């Protein structure tokens, strides 16, 4: 109970800026948890099945494509191979379609990163604004007190004003780290897709050449 009272007291001392930063911290946590859940559902860390499927496709071994696969790499490999084997696309058109499939998958993986980037940008600015406003109020009180100014009161006003800057940075740093991590996951998926697409195109061309 005392911890809750202390937290509420600090928020009250920080003013509206600190309350806004507190709301951004809750939003950041929710976005991070939602993003981890979405990436897990998309199979962003599952690589083995897609790699095994690429290794089998285009060989003499008969391979059945999975139906409606959920992992993003496996879905990309399946859809790309169907494009290459459909006969409805020429070589250039097939590459364009495969590129479109990859871009769509990567767009889904990067969903939610813009809000994190925005929070990482504005949280320190809101904190700085709160600090500037707090400093203005502290020095205004110092001016009003005149010759009887109390250094302790001034110092208390200053540290209260600095609370918002510290809070803004405390929110921005985890948001930046989370955004960078999610970007690295999407980049790893992109690299794997490029590798899979190249190998599938080579396999399809080899199979067509052998058939011809």
Separation CA 54–CA 183 (nearest Å):
25
SS3 state at 4 = helix
Residue 155 inside a domain? The answer is yes
Query: What pLDDT does 151 receive?
Result: 57
Residue 188 inside a domain? The answer is yes
User: In this predicted structure, which of 5-9, 167-171, 186-190 has the lowest mean pLDDT?
Assistant: 5-9
Residue 146 inside a domain? The answer is yes
DSSP-assigned states of every residue in 61-107: S--PPPSS--SHHHHHHHHHHHHHHHSSS-HHHHHHHHHHHHHHHHH
Question: What average pLDDT score do residues 8-17 get?
Answer: 62
Q: CB of 203 within 8 A of CB of 58?
A: yes
Instruction: Give which of 113, 133, 119, 83 is closest to 181, Cα–Cα.
Output: 113
Residue 131 inside a domain? The answer is yes
Domain that holds residue 195: 15-25+72-208
Question: What average pLDDT score do residues 166-174 get?
Answer: 92
Separation CA 196–CA 190 (nearest Å):
10
Residue 171 has pLDDT above 90, yes or no: yes
Q: CB of 79 within 8 A of CB of 86?
A: no
Separation CA 145–CA 176 (nearest Å):
42
Instruction: Give which of 205, 207, 13, 194 is closest to 91, Cα–Cα.
Output: 205
Q: CB of 15 within 8 A of CB of 134?
A: yes
Return the structure tokens found at 135: 């400093």
Tally the domains of the chain: 1
Q: Tokens 């009180």 appear where?
A: 141
**Tens-place pLDDT, residues 93-151:** 889 999 999 999 999 999 989 999 999 999 999 988 888 887 777 777 666 666 565 55
Instruction: Give which of 125, 127, 149 is closest to 138, Cα–Cα.
Output: 149
Helix (H) or strand (E) holding 28: helix 2-41
| Cβ atoms < 10 Å from Cβ of 65 | 14
More confident residue, 9 or 51: 51
Return the structure tokens found at 46: 């599952």
Residue 1 inside a domain? The answer is no
Residue 30 has pLDDT above 90, yes or no: yes
Residue 51 inside a domain? The answer is no
Residue 87 has pLDDT above 90, yes or no: no
Residue 147 inside a domain? The answer is yes
> Binning pLDDT at 50, 70 and 90, where does residue 84 land?
confident
| Cβ atoms < 10 Å from Cβ of 92 | 8
Residue 80 inside a domain? The answer is yes
More confident residue, 135 or 201: 201
């Amino acid at each position: 109970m005392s911890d809750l009272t202390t937290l509420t007291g600090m928020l009250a001392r920080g003013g509206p800026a600190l309350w806004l930063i507190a709301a951004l911290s809750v939003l950041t946590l929710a976005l991070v948890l939602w993003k981890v859940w979405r990436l897990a559902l998309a199979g962003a860390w599952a690589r083995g099945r897609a790699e095994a499927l690429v290794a089998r496709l285009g060989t003499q071994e008969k391979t059945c494509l999975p139906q409606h696969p959920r992992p993003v790499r496996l879905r990309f490999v399946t859809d790309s191979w169907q494009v290459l084997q459909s006969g409805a696309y020429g070589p250039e058109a097939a590459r364009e379609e495969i590129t479109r499939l990859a871009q769509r998958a990567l767009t889904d993986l990067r969903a939610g990163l813009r809000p994190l980037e925005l929070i990482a940008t504005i949280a320190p600015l809101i904190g700085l604004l709160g600090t500037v406003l707090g400093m203005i109020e502290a020095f205004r009180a110092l001016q009003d007190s005149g010759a009887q100014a109390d250094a302790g009161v001034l110092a208390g006003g200053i540290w209260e004003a600095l609370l918002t800057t510290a809070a803004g940075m405390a929110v921005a740093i985890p948001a930046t780290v989370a955004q960078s991590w999610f970007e690295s996951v999407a980049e790893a998926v992109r690299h794997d897709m490029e590798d899979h697409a190249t190998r599938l195109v080579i396999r399809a061309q080899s199979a067509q050449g052998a058939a011809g």
